[in-house]
Chains A and B, each alone.
Chain A
Amino acid sequence: MTDVAIPVEHAPAEHHEAGHASSLGLSNTKLAFWLFLGSECLLFGALISTYLLSVGNFVGQVVAGNPRVVSTMPAEIMNEIAEKGTVNGFFDIPFTSASSFILLMSSLTMVLAHKAVTESNYRASKIWLSATALLGATFISGQVYEFTVFYREGLYYDGNLFGSAFYTLTGFHGAHVTIGILMLVALLIMAFKGKLQADRAETVEIIGLYWHFVDVVWVLIFTVVYLIP
């Protein structure tokens, strides 16, 4: 490096120690992370497909009045499913809508945290990272509450096909959110130790990619599982 001041516009990308830009223009770390997210798409694609097929099968059997259908849910709920031909009456849509809003909000705070780090606004980055982690924790609390309510209403993991598919899909998503929160907490610890400088912007961006992916998956789950009968 020379002693000559270099305008920011022409400064070398010295802060990208996490991954050097490849000939494609993006760092290998980021490209690798996109590949990882591709594999996650396959996982959630399989889980969503399994949910649709399992619930379709379950509802079909209930509507057809198959006496061999095993379910731990109360008779009145089973009658409602048989009558309406859908399990959607089981869901609390206003509550889940609020959860969706919280997760969307957390995506916004995540991009604002990344932007703050790139602009070396470290106070703002701590605030936005904390907000993202708190919103994620609120979403998870909502999911735990929802699971508790469903359990009390007789929807067990091993109670019927609907329960197994529902808890597996939403549980996997919840586990991903929880892992995201842990990564955010790790970032916050770095930030408070003063180790989250602009040279770590790509680390924040990659954790942000993970967080937004979790949000995107919820966008799909919310519509396909909760809204579409």
Chain B
Amino acid sequence: MAHTAHDNEHGAHPTEKQYWMVFVILVLFTAVEVAWSFMGFEGAVLVVPLLVMMTIKFFLVAGAFMHLYFDLKLLNGRLFTWAFAGAIVLAGAVYAAVIASFRFNI
């Protein structure tokens, strides 16, 4: 496929085929999520796989469809990649701490 000026400026974005592949993976994960929720599991066996699949779907959409993976590479950087990853981890930790503080009446 011809290389466009846009591709040059924004790094190599996925091809159409790759977009379709990401979509198929997302649909498969959604189907497994729904099936898992109907299997009668309880507690961590139910919740942890659902959260893992949700996280994978989150990063697939953000990384491929939102071009975050390619834009972070373009932002030169390890610095930005680590800053972004650090911010996500920090936000998740704060979120978990707040929820836990209510749950356990801290």
Residues of A within 8 A of B19 (CB): 108, 111-112, 115
Decide yes or no whether A11 CB sits under 8 A from chain B: yes
Report the bound CA distance from A212 to B22 in whole Å.
13
Residues of B within 8 A of A201 (CB): 6
Residues of B within 8 A of A56 (CB): 102-103
Can you list the 5 inter-chain pairs with the closest CB atoms, starting with the nearest?
A223-B54, A118-B6, A108-B23, A227-B37, A11-B5
Residues of B within 8 A of A9 (CB): 3, 5, 8
* Dominant SS among interface residues on chain B: helix
Q: Are B65 and A100 in contact (CB under 8 A)?
A: no
Task: Report which B residues bind A (CB closer than 8 A).
Answer: 2-10, 13-14, 16, 19-20, 22-23, 26-27, 30, 33-34, 36-38, 46-47, 50-51, 53-54, 57-58, 61-62, 64-67, 71, 74-76, 80, 91, 95, 98-99, 102-103
* Dominant SS among interface residues on chain A: helix
- Given known A118-B4, A223-B54, contact A107–B75 (CB-CB < 8 A): no
Residues of A within 8 A of B57 (CB): 219
Report the bound CA distance from A8 to B57 in whole Å.
34
Determine which of B30, B37, B91 lies in contact with A104 in the assembled complex, contact meaning CB atoms within 8 Å.
B30
Say how far A159's CB is from chain B's closest CB, in angstroms.
23
Report the bound CA distance from A115 to B1 in whole Å.
12
Residues of A within 8 A of B33 (CB): 222-223, 227
Task: Report which A residues bind B (CB closer than 8 A).
Answer: 8-9, 11-16, 21, 24-26, 30, 41, 45, 49, 52-53, 56, 93-94, 97, 100-101, 104-105, 107-108, 110-112, 115, 118-119, 198, 201, 205, 208-209, 212-213, 215-216, 219-220, 222-224, 227-229
